[in-house]
């Protein structure tokens, strides 16, 4: 007796896969945010900002987040940073996309 693929009693066990492939495929990152306009920082000023990590391969790549209170320190770019620091992230600098000066400024303690 030969196997006939048209026989309804014969099943091909290779097509009855119920377990997902391992490891599961990762979802692709969202599209990158638009390039930010240059920001002019005032020293010792509070801002509300949006930022995103643009590092390829980072689990937070291209995800835009907000920081409602962000301090500009002395206004120099080398001191104005947001680091990608959530669990499992790359730990590199994020790109600040927008900054809006808080008005009124918080009261200093």
Position 87 scores a pLDDT of 79
| pLDDT greater than 70 at residue 97 | yes
Domain membership of residue 84 (yes or no) is yes
Q: Which residue has the higher pLDDT, 61 or 27?
A: 61
Whether residue 30 lies inside any domain: the answer is no
Predicted confidence at residue 88, as pLDDT, reads: 77
Q: What is the mean pLDDT of residues 51-71?
A: 94
Q: Does any domain span residue 88? A: yes
User: pTM of the entire structure?
Assistant: 0.72
**pLDDT higher than 80, residue 19:** no
Range of the domain at 49: 45-101
How many domains is the chain partitioned into structurally? Answer: 1
Is residue 29 within 8 Å of 60, Cβ to Cβ? no
Is the pLDDT reported for residue 11 higher than 90? Answer: no
* pLDDT higher at 41 or 15: 41
Structure tokens at 80: 């104005």
Q: What is the dihedral of CA 58, 62, 65, 69, to 10 degrees?
A: 80
What's the pLDDT band for 105 if we cut at 50, 70, 90? Answer: very high
Query: Is 14 among the domain residues?
Result: no
Residue 21 lies in a domain: no
């Amino acid at each position: 007796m030969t196997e006939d693929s048209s026989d309804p009693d014969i099943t091909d066990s290779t097509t009855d896969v119920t377990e997902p492939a391992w490891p599961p495929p990762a979802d692709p990152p969202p599209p990158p945010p638009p390039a930010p306009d240059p920001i002019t920082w005032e020293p010792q000023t509070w801002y509300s900002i949006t930022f995103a990590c643009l590092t390829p391969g980072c689990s937070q790549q291209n995800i835009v987040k907000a920081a409602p209170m962000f301090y500009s320190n002395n206004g120099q770019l080398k001191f104005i940073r947001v680091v990608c620091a959530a669990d499992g992230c790359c730990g590199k600098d994020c790109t600040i996309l927008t900054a809006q000066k808080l008005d009124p400024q918080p009261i200093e303690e």
